[in-house]
Amino acid sequence: MIERCERCGEPRGVNPVCPDCRETAQRVSRDEAEETTAKAEGFMDSPPWYTRMVHQSFWRQLRLMNSMIRAYLKGEYREVPWSVIASVVVAIAYVICPADLIPDVLFPFGFLDDAAVVSLVFRSFEHELDEYAQNAAMEAA
């Protein structure tokens, strides 16, 4: 079960405005980040049945966040602070964990909390994610 922050009520570690969440995010290790990205790739490659009707923008945001973490861990992209990476890791871990605030199998309601967490983190770090997306696009060209 995912812990909720006592101060802000969000899943612990995802709210960049909350001091308690920022402190939790700082404790995410490199190994945890690598493990989470590997699980996220499996989750996105073969999504559970209850996610099949989720809007495509959710998947794009999730893939972009996971890609940024991978690039950071490989040393290919370091233009973002570790606190951003750690918050994104916590958000992705929340999404891929089926036992969260509202169990994911209670579709569509079970996926609403996951979408809210991804949206919160995406909006909080939209500038950093946009910069990464532009950088990745320029390198691919």
pLDDT of residue 56: 80
pLDDT of residue 20: 84
Number of structural domains (the chain) is: 1
Residues 6+ apart with CB under 8 A from 96: 36, 39, 40, 43
Does this model's pTM top 0.85? My answer is: no
Examine residue 131 and state whether it is found in any structural domain, yes or no.
yes
Residue 5 lies in a domain: no
The span from the CA of 44 to the CA of 109, in Å, is 19
* Domain-embedded: residue 6: no
pLDDT in tens, 39-77: 888 877 887 766 666 778 778 888 888 898 888 888 888
Tell me the residue range of the domain where 52 lies: 19-140
Classify residue 103: in a domain, yes or no: yes
In a domain, 78, yes or no: yes
* Confidence band of 27 (pLDDT split at 50, 70, 90): confident
- For residue 52, is it within any domain? yes
Nearest to 96 by CA among 54, 57, 55, 42: 42
On whether residue 12 sits in a domain, the answer given is no
Domain assignment present for residue 3? The answer is no
pLDDT (0 to 100) of residue 2: 59
Under the banding of pLDDT at 50, 70 and 90, the label for residue 89 is confident
Hey, which residues does 4 pair with through a beta bridge? 11
Summarize pLDDT for 93-125 with one digit per residue, the tens. Answer: 888 877 777 777 776 777 788 888 888 888 888
